Amino acid sequence: MSDPTMKTTSDVLAGRDLTRVTVLVTGATTGIGKETARALGAAGATVIITGRSDEKGKQAVAELRDSVPDGSFSNEVLELGSLASVRAFADRFLVEHDRLDVLIANAGIMAVPFGHTDDGFELQFGTNHLGHFVLIGRLLPLLVSSAPARVVLLSSGGHAASDIGWDDPNFASRPYSKLEAYGQSKTANVLHAVEIERRYRDQGVHAWSVHPGMVKTDLGRHFTSDDYAELIERAKATGGELPRRVGVDVGASTSVWAAVTDEALSCGGSYLADCAVAKARSWATDPAAARRLWALSEELVSESFPEPD
């Protein structure tokens, strides 16, 4: 059950009319992403969701339409662990859509066993960051032409587990830790938002990273009791504690807040939690590190997204 003292998606969107707004939400077949799509659709937005299969996407759209009968929802297949899939999706999207007001990079994986994406990247870094890096890079021209536009990247308080392993982001030679790999990928999400804001704010595109809180969703399906115990110990070691669990309506509220509110525009590039600016680790908000990650990401995916003139 959600904490009644925290804002929900309904609180954020009360009285708002988004009928002229087109939104893309990745990974929206379940959990926070699905609630984000539902809430924005209920406010009138045209919402395109992505899922890893057409079957899951169609099922989610049917459920969203049951919840919001007048809503405009559609689905597309996107596998972020395959850059071929990301590029094919972006190509289709650019042909089929002439505007994009909000891109919410919600999809992700968490604490998975060691493995690689189709392109040979460590699964969490490759899926959570590099897949979205290519997707957003290819859709940025459409966002610029639709400006004012917004990019929201789902990060996590878990970014505190690790900075970027600059010399070995794919754990090729260092011991694999599923929590550190997750933390690295979530740090990358924060840095990505910082650099998008720097590069594109003058073109009318703003970006934020978001910590949704602890929400019970399918994201944690690989999380074991030992993982949870380690998470508690890591929190204690830094003088903190785990936040209380919240429902998806609270978990999705900060994404929605960044996507629609005027208040968010005063803090572009920021790390957000509970519908407000939050404090991230210094390594995740360093502008020099954000530029370095952009360059490293371009090198890894063999694709360049030059800084606008």
Q: CA-CA distance, 263 to 265, in Å (whole number)?
A: 5
Q: How many whole angstroms separate alpha carbon 210 and alpha carbon 216? A: 17
Distances (CA, A) of 283 to 162, 166, 187: 9, 12, 8
- What value does the CA radius of gyration of the chain take, rounded to a whole number of Å? 18
- Residue 175: cis peptide before it, omega within 30 degrees of 0: no
Q: Which residues belong to the active site? A: 182
**Which structure tokens are listed for 228?**
């949870």
* Best CA proximity match to 208, nearest among 223, 219, 221, 192: 192
Question: CA–CA separation, 85 vs 181, rounded Å?
Answer: 23
